Chains A and B, each alone.
Chain A
Amino acid sequence: MATRIYNVFIVSKSGGLIYDYDHTSSSGTVHNLEVEKTFGYPLDIRLISENRKMIVEFGARDGIATGHVLISMNGISIEGMSEEQIKEFIQKEENFPLNLKFGRPRLSTNEKIVLASMFYPFFALAVQLSPELGSSGIKELETDTFKLYCNQTLTGVKFIIVAESKISGSSGIESLLDKIYELYADYALKNPFYSLEMPIRADLFDTNLALAIDQIERTGFI
């Protein structure tokens, strides 16, 4: 019955991301696994650098999969280190045995904005492709690991929920989408200091949204 919600996004009518909420970090689910392991010399997995991140290119083992990014070395975060420094460090034999921590890459705010604006034409495309008139656009998008639900209001705002895909029967996602719309109307739009189309930064909205999500996860309805 209980549904797991991963993310909530709100996209304005012009396609900009105006709100995103990551429920995986606050609820501490297993979704963002981090694995720490001690390695001997030479390193038996191959790392490449991409977008200023060290990514596992080949050689999955012990829960470290290709696509994971390096988070820390010997407990020290690699943030702020240059690629050269990291490469040099892992090539020197005297630095081994070495503790490396890997994890699933997190989306940066910029990446989220890019993805949100990519969804917009995709949604429009679905409407154009529709064999019949009056298509609503994408309402659900399903994969092995998650399901995306989208609700577009008459005014063009899109509310998007990313949730667990193994949902049986009525999961209450529909009512959660309605609820988020209500919260948006209340806590974003009725706030006199909020200007339309701009990112929503309102604590009241955050708290009420988190409450609604917790409730849906526990009970399956609002």
Chain B
Amino acid sequence: MSRVGGRSSTDPKKVSGELFSLTYGSLVAQILKDYENVDDVNKQLEKMGYNIGVRLIEDFLARTNSGKCQDFREVSEKVQSAFKMFLNISPTVTSWSATSDEFSLIFDTNPLAEFVELPDHCYNLRYANILAGALRGALEMVHIEIACWFIQDTLKGDNFTELRVKFIRKIEDTIPPGDD
């Protein structure tokens, strides 16, 4: 009853997406300057994303009354709604593997890279790698270990951005009592 449309009605935390993507852009540019090596930058972005994810999951759970996911398809729906909630984009879930443990998220545009053109020496840069990290961190907190990587990117001339998500295992040892 306290929540209106996912966010509580007193919550003024809506910011311009442009401000967000510009801030992210300066972050990436700075890391690139600091590390000079594109592979290191990819790693750093993933790590930062991970640290964001492990915190952001609580925000997601506190604001949506989500229960525990019983299968990976349910996970994919939750992930989709999280993207809607935090970035206001709705990626399409497709390309399920036969065993239902892998899916792809298709973004028509790369939400973080609206104004970005990759220079030649950064061809290997996974610009939005922070998203992959955030997804991994968030799911790890709810005891699902995944691997997550970009296989297509509009910045590299593809038609859309595709993020592949693969289920690895359920993390058993830290499951809080009362959930299984």
Contacts and interface: CB of A to CB of B under 8 A. Distances in A.
A196 B174 CA distance: 15
B180 interface: yes
Nearest to A128: B177
Central interface residue in B57, B62, B63, B178, by most chain A CB within 10 Å: B178
B122 interface: no
A13 B142 CA distance: 12
A221 B58 CA distance: 23
A152 B63 contact: no
A221 B1 contact: yes
B58 A189 contact: yes
Given A155-B141, A179-B2, A137 B59 contact: no
A18 to B, nearest CB: 13
Given A13-B174, A134-B180, A179-B2, A155 B55 contact: no
A43 to B, nearest CB: 49
Contact of B178 (A137, A157, A196, A221): A137
A154 B179 contact: yes
Given A13-B174, A136-B178, A137-B178, A185 B58 contact: yes
Interface string A120-153: 0001101110000011110000000000000011
A123 B8 CA distance: 31
Contacts of A93: none
A189 B1 contact: no
A154 B142 contact: yes
Given A179-B2, A222-B2, A184 B176 contact: no
Interface string B48-69: 0000001111110111001110
A124 B177 CA distance: 5
Contacts of B8: 182
Interface string B143-180: 00000000000000000000000000000001111111
A196 B52 CA distance: 11
A148 to B, nearest CB: 15
Contacts of B175: 156
Contact of A153 (B1, B58, B174, B177): B58
A126 B57 CA distance: 27
Central interface residue in B1, B62, B175, by most chain A CB within 10 Å: B62
A175 B179 contact: no
A164 interface: no
A181 interface: yes
Given A127-B177, A154-B67, A155-B61, 16 more contacts: A123-B178, A124-B177, A136-B179, A152-B179, A153-B58, A154-B66, A156-B176, A178-B62, A184-B58, A184-B62, A185-B55, A185-B61, A185-B63, A186-B59, A189-B56, A222-B2
Given A154-B61, A154-B68, A179-B2, A190 B176 contact: no
B61 A190 contact: no
A178 B8 CA distance: 11
- What 4 A-B pairs have minimum CB-CB distances, sorted nearest first? A137-B178, A156-B176, A124-B177, A189-B55
A128 B54 CA distance: 28
Given A175-B2, A184-B58, A196-B55, A155 B142 contact: yes
Interface in A87-137: 123-124, 126-128, 134-137
Central interface residue in A128, A135, A136, A182, by most chain B CB within 10 Å: A182
Given A196-B55, A222-B2, A185 B62 contact: yes
